[in-house]
Structure 1
Amino acid sequence: MKRHHLLLLLSFLCVLPLCLLNVWLRGFEARTAVHSSGNGDSNVTVLLWHWPFGVSLSLEGDVCWDFYRVPGCRLVNQHSMFPSADVVVFHNRELIQGIQKLPLDLPRPQGQRWAWMSLEAPANNGNLKLFANIFNMTITYRRDADVTIPYGKLQPKDAQEVVELVVEDAHLNKSSLVCWVVSNYRSKHKRSQVFKELSAIVPVKVYGRWTETPLLSNALLPSISSCYFYLAFENSMAKDYISEKLWRNAYQGGAVPVVMGPPLADYKAVAPPHSYIHVDDFASVKDLGTYLQQVAEDKKRYGAYFTWRNRWKVKLYTDWRERLCQICTRYSTLPQHKVYTDLQAWIDNINT
């Protein structure tokens, strides 16, 4: 009997390590699957050659996974990592200003991709003809970029976040019909011309350095929230160029945006229906001003511009690390041997 028990004990002790090993292997496979899902490459190293505008952020730990749940993505900024980097990212502003230079003197590893990154409108990017036949990737707000990094986007609300709004309440605490925040005012800009015509028809409250009434960051959204409408006028009329003027100032400020920038189709592609008013929808600025007055006087019509908030919320992109992590979600799907022979033409949307 004792011999039988001893044999059972020995058998159990022999099998136990195998069971434990099997459990460990399964757990390891699961963790590996999580970290390699989404891009097909479990290890993509992205080297940021210089920080945009000279403002550096911490890259300690697994930034992409810990903060943004992007797996298999390693962000580094040490130039010594150049030989092993899969992607090297260059921010355009510093290149154009001569603050940084492309490492053209270094032997470029086979298969390494160089990425051009900018959130500026074409008019503010400088002479990009200098960069012909250099870059393999574009990272910008354009929807047809290799990696699209918009200023903001819509996200569906979670079930617990969905609250049916009383549209008539959108009228509450409004004291100004139209407001605008502008610092870079140039009379030749189309937005300045529209503003001049509109302000002759309806009252427009203007904030910003141009009128010597700048708003502190903590006063921006509260000030806009007191307005029925906000002039989300872009300083450049460029494909897909829809900046924080829409996503943060108007949507998060709680005013209906009156937009001017890219064509109406570009707004329709990214913004909720009946959440904005496009200048191009009106035969004249006078017609636009009349419409704004009529809508502001009708609680139901005005409130209808906020019904999208029942199901959607706005996500802003403000952290360059989050933008860089998006490279890894696209890396395996991008052409390996793509080269921008004429980056300037692509940015200017010529023959694209």
Structure 2
Amino acid sequence: MDRRQDSSPNQGPEKTHPTAFPSIRILFVTVICVSPLLLFGQWWRLLDWAGLRRSTISDEDMGNSVTILLWHWPFGGPYDITGDVCRDRYDIPRCRLVDDRALYPSADVVVFHNRELMEGQEKLPLHLPRPPGQRWAWMSLEAPNHNGNLRPYANVFNLTVSYRRDADVTIPYGERRPKEPEAGDGGGTAGAAPRNKSATVCWVVSNYRAQHARSRVYGRLKAVVPVQVYGRWTGNPLPPRALLPTISRCYFYLAFENSESKDYVTEKLWRNSYQAGAVPIVLGPPPNDYKAVAPPGSFIHVDEFVSAEDLGRRLKELAADEEGYGSYFGWRQEWEVKLYTDWRERLCQICSRYDSFPRRKVYADLNAWARAAT
């Protein structure tokens, strides 16, 4: 209601302004429409409705851009994709990220994250005609045994987006990069081993299963060398801010994967070990898979020892040998490690590879391709 009309001496206290009820109706409709968006965290749709989330890509670049439509955000998302995200954040030009399904007819690539499909939260739009030249991409960062049954997707997808090196678009958890000359410290302590160690071996684990290979190795290893264990399994969880500082006090970290699958090397190596400054003891894919991606001389693979007991004895020797232990940090003089945690950056990588995609590729048996990694 208009306060100026209410306070007018010529208007009685019970007289209502003619526009009062329409205003109330407008307010009611607005609340009804907007509240569900806010309630379910879909604030980005409210921005679209208000016209506040439009791309700032120039018309010229828009015409030359590859449009990547993410059909649904992984694990609920979303991320802010306002503006020219790929160019501004990751120096990848002519790449347009969208999540508005109304743009489906103009999308060059439509990306579907497997977890939501597997759990039934989302479905493939098989009822929609696929525009000529449009490609559908299957995306997953899970090990093969956690991807569910992929047989129904035979002859559906044209591209795979995965941590695997043989995927159409490889999106690893991390990677080694040559160190920029200016990033060094003049040959001082760049390759020196951290000195704040107080524990020999530590392990952070929440999903403990006795049948896992990593559980069997741990059971035999701890009989030879003390292992400090953290995580929900032991009732000793670490808050996020304490994770790296805690691991940094350990000589070695058990970067044990829950799956021994091709190329499956997760943040256990890239973040927990390298960023904390502990030498990773790795168990997962074969040693050659690690050698292909990790900094040289930076890790110890379980398979390189005849037994877990033999490994344990070697770890005790290295913890007492300053020079031997320090040799596992020499890589820091020439290499650095980059983590990939932002789904936007992963999606932008599709544009980097777009021109190399085969024109008529389709995965006749996606399930077989995914299982080939085991």
TM class, shorter-length = 0.7 to 0.9
In the alignment, what sits opposite 1:8? Answer: none
In the alignment, what sits opposite 1:21? Answer: none
1:158-191 per-residue CA deviation (whole Å, 9 max, x = no partner) reads 2221123548952511000000000000000000
> Secondary structure in 2 aligned to 1:94?
helix
CA distance in 1, matches of 2:104, 2:188: 52
Q: Which amino acid aligns with 1:124?
A: H
Whether the 8 Å contact between 1:48 and 1:76 is mirrored in structure 2 is yes
Q: Which amino acid aligns with 1:123?
A: N
Q: Percent identity?
A: 63
Q: Which amino acid aligns with 1:308?
A: W
Whether the 8 Å contact between 2:201 and 2:250 is mirrored in structure 1 is yes
**Pick aligned residue for 2:225 from 181, 202, 223:** 202
1:192 aligns with 2:181: no
In the alignment, what sits opposite 2:81? Answer: 59
1:153 aligns with 2:175: yes
**Pick aligned residue for 1:48 from 64, 70, 73:** 70
The residue correspondences of 1:221-232 to structure 2 (distance < 5 A) are 221-232=244-255
In the alignment, what sits opposite 1:15? Answer: none
**Pick aligned residue for 1:179 from 202, 217, 223:** 202
C-alpha change, 1:57 and 1:168, in structure 2 (3 Å) is: closer
1:303 aligns with 2:311: no
CA distance in 1, matches of 2:162, 2:293: 15
Q: Which amino acid aligns with 1:112?
A: Q
In the alignment, what sits opposite 1:236? Answer: 259
**Pick aligned residue for 2:135 from 96, 102, 113:** 113
> Secondary structure in 2 aligned to 1:99?
coil
CA distance in 2, matches of 1:107, 1:335: 21
In the alignment, what sits opposite 2:360? Answer: 337
1:138 aligns with 2:160: yes
- Note the C-alpha offset of 1:127: 0.3
- Note the C-alpha offset of 1:273: 1.6
As a proportion of its length, which structure holds more helix?
1
Whether the 8 Å contact between 2:87 and 2:95 is mirrored in structure 1 is yes
C-alpha change, 1:168 and 1:131, in structure 2 (3 Å) is: closer
CA distance in 2, matches of 1:168, 1:308: 7
1:209-232 per-residue CA deviation (whole Å, 9 max, x = no partner) reads 001111111100000000000000
CA distance in 1, matches of 2:242, 2:170: 30
CA RMSD for the aligned pairs?
1.9
CA distance in 2, matches of 1:253, 1:349: 33
- Note the C-alpha offset of 1:313: 1.1
C-alpha change, 1:165 and 1:286, in structure 2 (3 Å) is: farther
Hey, which bits of structure 1, 4+ residues long, moved more than 3 A? 165-169
CA distance in 2, matches of 1:83, 1:171: 54
- Note the C-alpha offset of 1:142: 0.1
* TM-score normalised according to structure 1 size: 0.87
Tell which has more relative contact order, 1 or 2 (C-alpha 8 A, sep 6+): 1
The residue correspondences of 1:1-352 to structure 2 (distance < 5 A) are 42-163=64-185, 164-166=187-189, 170=193, 172-349=195-372
Deviates more, 1:158-167 or 1:124-133: 158-167
CA distance in 1, matches of 2:320, 2:200: 10
> Secondary structure in 2 aligned to 1:143?
coil
- Note the C-alpha offset of 1:35: 6.8
Gaps of 5+ in 1: 1-31
> Secondary structure in 1 aligned to 2:110?
strand
CA distance in 1, matches of 2:134, 2:126: 13
CA distance in 2, matches of 1:233, 1:313: 22
> Secondary structure in 1 aligned to 2:64?
coil
CA distance in 2, matches of 1:213, 1:271: 30
In the alignment, what sits opposite 2:37? Answer: none
CA distance in 2, matches of 1:338, 1:62: 29
CA distance in 1, matches of 2:192, 2:126: 59
Whether the 8 Å contact between 2:190 and 2:333 is mirrored in structure 1 is no
> Secondary structure in 1 aligned to 2:255?
strand
1:123-165 per-residue CA deviation (whole Å, 9 max, x = no partner) reads 1000011111000000000000000000000112222211235
- Note the C-alpha offset of 1:42: 3.2
> Secondary structure in 2 aligned to 1:75?
strand
> Secondary structure in 2 aligned to 1:138?
strand
Equivalenced residue count is 316
- Note the C-alpha offset of 1:96: 0.5
> Secondary structure in 2 aligned to 1:252?
coil
In the alignment, what sits opposite 2:31? Answer: none
- Note the C-alpha offset of 1:316: 0.4
